[in-house]
Amino acid sequence: MSDFKWRHFRGEIILGCVRWYCKYGISYRDLEEMMLERGLKIDHSTINRWVLEYAVELDKRIRRYLRPANGSYRINETYIKVKGKWKYLYRAVDSDGQTIDFMLSAKRNRQAAKCFFRKVIQSQHAVAPYAMTVDKNPAYPIAFEQSQDRGLIPKGCKLRQIRYLNNIVVQDHRFIKRLVKPGMGFGSFWTAKNTLAGFEVMNMIRKGQVRGVPKGDILGQARFVSSVFGLA
């Protein structure tokens, strides 16, 4: 069955809107006007529903196409406003700047850190880490030790709390923050989680993490997104 059955617009148009919103830092109303210039009357709320549905699906489908990350993890959190309150977006990249995984959390504590360690290590394109570099958050050492005791993190892996080594992930946050800004925050945790998945996945594609689709190949990236949904 087509992923776009019963939709009023073709799959190419829907995916185009999802790609543009999740990549270029524009508002839904800006995208509505851009579509109107092309002769398509699409309400901004419709585009919003498309993003919430297909961004998560795109995140699931591209994982097996990503190039393997290396074993030097750089982990950090950034703040995301949801319904007027600050939440925490945990993010991990490797020493080459490739995104490994991400997780939106309501809290910044030991349990959240343990959940993120598990999610990162179980990512399809992750390899067993030999080092994890984190910030000075006191929850990390406890979560790391408990995760090692349970066999989740290899015993030979080292935890490093060295600020300058984490600059690479801190700098990478700005690409996601730039996309969040036009939306003026999120109305619910679910909306934030789904939308951020789209931002992250398009950032991975932009950085050239997909095998056979290099950084800077804009047309190739667009074709790849269409191909994972079965569109020519």
Query: What is the DSSP annotation of 162-219?
Result: -GGGGHHHHHHHHHHHHHHGGGTSBSSHHHHHHHHHHHHHHHHHHTT-BTT--TT-HH
Q: Are 127 and 92 in contact (CB under 8 A)?
A: no
Q: Are 158 and 144 in contact (CB under 8 A)?
A: no
Residue type, 10: R
The overall longest dimension of the chain from CA atoms, in Å, is 60
Query: Residue 108 has what pLDDT?
Result: 93
Give the Å distances, CA to CA, from 160 to 42, 92, 95, 163: 49, 14, 13, 9
Strand partners, 105: 88
Query: Residue 138 has what pLDDT?
Result: 92
Q: Is the dihedral of CA 183, 214, 164, 69 positive or negative?
A: positive
Q: What domains appear along the chain, each with residue ranges and CATH number?
A: 11-65+188-228 (no CATH), 72-176 (3.30.420.10)
Q: Lowest mean pLDDT of 68-77, 101-110, 156-165, 194-203, name the range.
A: 156-165
Closest among 80, 88, 118, 79 to 106, alpha carbons compared: 88
Instruction: Output the pTM of the full model.
Output: 0.93
pLDDT reading at 1 higher than 60: no
Q: Mean pLDDT across the chain, nearest whole number?
A: 93
Could you read off the pLDDT of 37-61 as tens digits, one per residue? Answer: 999 999 999 999 999 999 999 999 9
Could you read off the pLDDT of 185-231 as tens digits, one per residue? Answer: 788 999 999 999 999 999 999 999 999 999 999 999 999 999 999 98
The percent of residues in the chain predicted with pLDDT above 70, rounded, is 98
Q: Are 102 and 85 in contact (CB under 8 A)?
A: no
